[in-house]
Amino acid sequence: MSPATRVGGGRPRNRLRAWLALWCVCMLAAVYVAGWAFWSYTHQNLRFVQLPPGESAVTGKGSPFRVLSINQARSVPVKYGKPVEASPGMTFVLVRFEVTRVDPKDYCLLNLAGADRVFYEYTTRVSGRPLNQFCQEWPTNVATEGEVIYEVPLSRVNQIAGVYASDQRDWRTRHLVASPPR
C-alpha cells in the first residue's frame, strides 16, 4: 500500500509529535530558569546570622573579634587638618572593635550589615585616625582595638544590625554579625 492510499494519512501523529516537541522545549526552558534562579539566590544573597549583643565572631582566618561600640557622626575629626564632613544625605558610622589575631595574614576586613541583606564597606574618605582599621601590622595573640568608619545613608542608619568579617568568600558562608554589648 502506498503512502498516498493510507487511511488517515498520518497527520494526527505529526501534530502530536509537534506538541510533544513544544512541551519538551518548554520544560527545558523551565528547568534552566529554575536552576538559574536557585544558583543566583544562593550565590548572590548574603546570609547573616545575628549573634547576641556583645558576643564574639570570627574572621575568615579564625581570629575572634568583638564590637565595642557603634556610633554615628556627621563629621569625624582627624589628626591633621579639618574634620571630614559626611556627604549630603549620609552620616558616618564609627565602629570600635577588638580583635585577637591568630594568623599573621589576617587583615580584619569588616563590613557593616544592615536590614534586608544590605551591607556597607569601609569608607576611604577618612584617614589619620588614632586607631587603625586593618590589623595586618598588629601583634598576634594579643587583643588589640581598632576602628572602622562607614558612610551610610541617613535613611538607613537605624537599620544597622552589626559588623561581620567580609574575608569569608565562600558562597555557603553564613556571616556572623556581631553587635556591641547593651
pLDDT digits (tens, 9 = 90+) for 84-130: 999 999 999 999 999 999 988 888 889 999 888 788 999 888 888 88
The confidence score (pLDDT) of residue 34 equals 95
The confidence score (pLDDT) of residue 133 equals 82
- Range of 94's domain? 46-176
Q: Does some domain include residue 81? A: yes
Tally the domains of the chain. 2
Q: Is the domain of 158 the same as that of 84?
A: yes
Can you tell me the distance from the alpha carbon of 49 to that of 59, in angstroms, rounded to the nearest whole number? 14
The confidence score (pLDDT) of residue 95 equals 95
CATH of the domain at 108: 2.60.40.1240
pLDDT > 90: percent of the chain: 49
Has residue 37 got a pLDDT over 90?
Answer: no
Instruction: Evaluate if pTM is beyond 0.85.
Output: no
Q: Is the domain of 99 the same as that of 166?
A: yes
Q: Is the domain of 36 the same as that of 94?
A: no
- Report the C-alpha dihedral over residues 113, 104, 53, 110, rounded to 10 degrees: -10
Q: Does some domain include residue 77? A: yes
What average pLDDT does the chain have? 86
Q: Does some domain include residue 95? A: yes
Can you tell me the distance from the alpha carbon of 150 to that of 152, in angstroms, rounded to the nearest whole number? 6
- Write the pLDDT tens digit of every residue in 151-160: 999 999 999 9
